[in-house]
Amino acid sequence: MATFEFPWLTTLILFPLLAALPIPLIEAKEAKTIRFYALSVGLIDFALMVCAFWSGYNPQNPGLQLVERYSWLPQIGLDWSLAVDGLSMPLILLTGLITTLAILAAWDVKEKPRLFYFLMLVMYSAQIAVFAAQDLLFFFLVWELELVPVYLLISIWGGPKRTYAATKFILYTALASLFILVSAFAMAFYGDNFTFDMQALGLKQYTPGFEALLYLGFLVAFGVKLPIFPLHTWLPDAHSEAPAPVSMLLAGILLKMGGYALMRFNVEMLPHAHITFAPMLAILGVVNIVYGAFAAFAQTNMKRRIAFSSISHMGFVLLGIAAFNDLGMSGAMLQMVSHGLIAAALFFTTGIAYDRTHTLAMDKLGGIATKMPITFALFVAASMASLALPGMSGFVSELAVFLGFATDGIYSNSFRVVVIFLASVGLILTPIYLLSMVRRVFCGTQSFKFPELLQDAKPREVFVAACLLLPVIGIGFYPKLATQFHDVKTVALAAHVQELLPAGNDRLLAFRSQWSAWEGENTFPTPITVAEALAPTLGVLD
């Protein structure tokens, strides 16, 4: 582990939290003072991130860096333990960029601005802490902490069904978090040494059945946040009711917590179980891709269509994680960064249209491109990035996932062909439902008379959208802008899993034998039948 003297990560986490505390005490007749204060905090913390990683982070080191460890509550084994590596560093930078832009995007919030910006800064701290935490109990605490601001932001500033959407969000995510807590204590008490240190937990030798149960527990917990079908139903409701800045954070950061945690816990800490369950992840990824794409067609609400699009795109993350090579895992990381930027841009530009028209119903829109040409251009650019247009980051990330899985010799040829074919169906459907939305919203004739003149995007709004889209184009033309920060880590992670493959080959061979049987019967298995086929090899059903 590489250590660093200055507590950069502690500063990055505590600064927004401590800066949020005086907000209720700020005396200001107008909300402008509070807005500038919150924006300044976001910019300063983002600048500190850039400074910390520029001076103290080495992209060629796959190990933990900027390590900080302080004893917090030794009676229960809780430590303030922080560090970053190639899995967390890019996502922390993504958090800083999108949160700062979301604060700027929320410039017109007039209802309870003190509480709004207070919650935004608290969530900022919690999100950074999730990606930097190296103590499992501390990870659980900050994972829970970031749920509270999201719930309040939706329930107070959301749409007509905000209470239902916020309640559904907190029930799904909070109940799923119990699996993290139970798994954390199970891992901590296992063996001779009691610890919540994630590095030490990853070195413990778990029995196959016990490791499988831990893997499934984490899969449920993080699958809700990703989200994985059928644990996804909270997401469209949350997005449709949340204000645009909160949707930016939901799609840009919160979903990435699920993907990050799967790589950190399920792959890195539980590699033996991952070898066995990787085929099921691949099938779940394909289900996400195809189901999300088809479900998007049925939506007439703009934000719900984009929400189902996010479900589809996060399926590529699962597919990349299921690959046993560094190209697939690198593609999964790049897909998280890429989708975070693209989804935030889509929800932000949708928010611009909603602010002017006061509707998200596509059947009430149409023909507004002539009145809002700049907004139209920004939305089209974000849509092109989402449908993986060459020259944009979505194309590079999805191509890496495809190539990574297609070249993975661990799976049988027939399994790879079926998975790649079905994932390709999702790729074909994506431009259809996105371009259909562009046509129905911006082209054609206006089907609803708006009560006021439609104002185009303001300079502030153009700046926010440009800050999201420029990195998308930059990564599309030069992927190394992003991959250089995580490639070494994903190579090491893939190598770590591959080293264990000889010991896990019997499990994979058993699955391949079962797959051949399904193939002979001309049937495609469901995730449930896959789980049933995998369970006996681990002794889960014994």
Neighbouring residues of 330: CB distance < 8 A, sequence distance ≥ 6: 320, 400, 404, 483, 486, 487, 490, 491
- Name the amino acid, one letter, at 112: K
pLDDT at 4 over 50: no
Contact 397, 335 (CB under 8 A): yes
Distance (Å, rounded) from C-alpha 157 to C-alpha 241?
A: 9
Neighbouring residues of 451: CB distance < 8 A, sequence distance ≥ 6: none
Average pLDDT over residues 327-352: 95
- C-alpha pair distances (Å), 155 with each of 7, 24, 148, 220: 36, 20, 11, 25
Neighbouring residues of 276: CB distance < 8 A, sequence distance ≥ 6: 212, 504, 507, 508, 511, 534, 537, 538
Whether the pTM exceeds 0.85: the reply is: yes
Backbone angles phi, psi at 205, to 5 degrees: -95, 95
In this predicted structure, what is the pLDDT of residue 426? Answer: 87
Q: Which one is predicted more confidently, 450 or 150?
A: 150
pLDDT at 508 over 70: no
pLDDT tens per residue across span 73-110: 888 889 999 999 999 999 999 999 999 999 999 988 88
- Confidence bin at 3 (pLDDT 50/70/90): very low
Please report the beta strands in 78-190, taking only residues with DSSP state E, as ranges in sequence order.
78-84
Which pair of tokens denotes residue 509? 């061979």
In this predicted structure, what is the pLDDT of residue 166? Answer: 94
Average pLDDT over residues 133-155: 95
In this predicted structure, what is the pLDDT of residue 274? Answer: 94
Distance (Å, rounded) from C-alpha 66 to C-alpha 536?
A: 42
Contact 340, 98 (CB under 8 A): yes
pLDDT at 244 over 50: yes
Cis peptide bond N-terminal to 22, omega within 30? no
In this predicted structure, what is the pLDDT of residue 538? Answer: 43
pLDDT tens per residue across span 178-199: 999 999 999 999 988 899 999 9
Distance (Å, rounded) from C-alpha 376 to C-alpha 391?
A: 20
- Confidence bin at 501 (pLDDT 50/70/90): confident
Average pLDDT over residues 255-275: 95
In this predicted structure, what is the pLDDT of residue 126? Answer: 96
In this predicted structure, what is the pLDDT of residue 225? Answer: 92
Neighbouring residues of 502: CB distance < 8 A, sequence distance ≥ 6: none
pLDDT tens per residue across span 18-74: 999 999 888 766 678 899 999 999 999 999 999 999 998 999 999 999 999 998 988
pLDDT at 157 over 50: yes
In this predicted structure, what is the pLDDT of residue 454? Answer: 80
Which of 230-234, 444-448, 525-529 is predicted most confidently?
230-234
- C-alpha pair distances (Å), 502 with each of 203, 243, 410: 18, 50, 11
Q: Which one is predicted more confidently, 112 or 536?
A: 112
In this predicted structure, what is the pLDDT of residue 511? Answer: 57
pLDDT tens per residue across span 443-462: 877 766 665 678 888 999 99
b/e burial code for range 333-365 (CB count within 10 A of at least 16 → b): bbbbbbbbbbbbbbbbbbbbbbbbbeebebebb
Which residue stretches of 387-458 are H helix?
393-406, 413-442
Distance (Å, rounded) from C-alpha 404 to C-alpha 321?
A: 10
Query: 27-31, 116-120, 131-135: lowest mean pLDDT where?
Result: 27-31
- Confidence bin at 533 (pLDDT 50/70/90): low
In this predicted structure, what is the pLDDT of residue 456? Answer: 87
In this predicted structure, what is the pLDDT of residue 108? Answer: 86
Positive/negative CA dihedral, 144, 317, 9, 495: positive
In this predicted structure, what is the pLDDT of residue 537? Answer: 45
Task: Please provide the average confidence, as pLDDT, over all residues in the chain.
Answer: 89
Which pair of tokens denotes residue 86? 């190639």
- Among 150, 112, 125, CA closest to 34: 112
